[in-house]
Amino acid sequence: MKFKKIITRTRIEALVVLLGVVVYIWRGLSLPAHYRVRGVPGPSVFPVILGVIMGGAALYLLIFSREEAKPETSPSGESRWRRLLKNPRFFLMWGLLIAYVFLMPTLGFIISSFVLLTAFIFLLGERRWYLGILIALVFTIAIYVAFARGLQIHLPLGILKGIFGWR
């Protein structure tokens, strides 16, 4: 097997994800347990579980990827990265993620997650507005109920706390 066939885009992406997973788990384990309650999982449980799942998927791609090495340029001679950087959706999605992180304490988990999921669904190609909104609403509520009520993990309510008097 030639060396060039071993290094593929999928394997490089898997290595990047593995590096991110290591940092994610390390940062998750360093979360302070100020609100630790006996019998309730601590704040590091979710990052570790999610990190292990993501790491397993990345390892699978790293080991079992059957992708053939592709040329870096398209038939028109334009590189793959240049085509990606010309795509405005790429930057818009990153901008939305950054805005999500900064606005969540103010707007709260429910509103900011609903807006982010709705935007992502439409940016990824869904054209039926009612279906995109319904999917975002169902997932936002399901995630909130699972974590805030089921696992008793504090999620910021933001402006909803003041409007409805929720805790």
Which tens digit of pLDDT belongs to each residue from 6-30? 777 777 878 888 888 888 888 877 7
Rounded to an integer, what distance in angstroms lies between the CA atom of residue 21 and that of residue 62?
Answer: 14
HEC letters along 100-138: HHHHHHHHCHHHHHHHHHHHHHHHCCCCCHHHHHHHHHH
In the predicted model, is pLDDT for residue 46 greater than 70? yes
Rounded Cα gap, residues 72 and 88, in angstroms: 21
Q: Is the pLDDT of residue 1 over 50?
A: no
- The answer on pLDDT for 56 being more than 50 is yes
- Average pLDDT score over residue span 148-153: 75
Confidence of residue 78 (pLDDT cuts 50, 70, 90): low
Average pLDDT value over all residues in the chain: 76
Q: What is the mean pLDDT of residues 42-69?
A: 78
Q: What is the Cα–Cα distance from 57 to 13, expressed in whole angstroms?
A: 11
SS3 91: helix
Q: Report pLDDT for 101.
A: 81
pLDDT tens digits, one per residue of 81-132: 666 666 777 778 788 888 888 888 788 888 888 988 888 888 777 788 888 8
CB 78 within 8 A of CB 30: no
pLDDT surpassing 60 at residue 41: yes
Q: What angle do CA 61, 29, 153 make, to 5 degrees?
A: 100
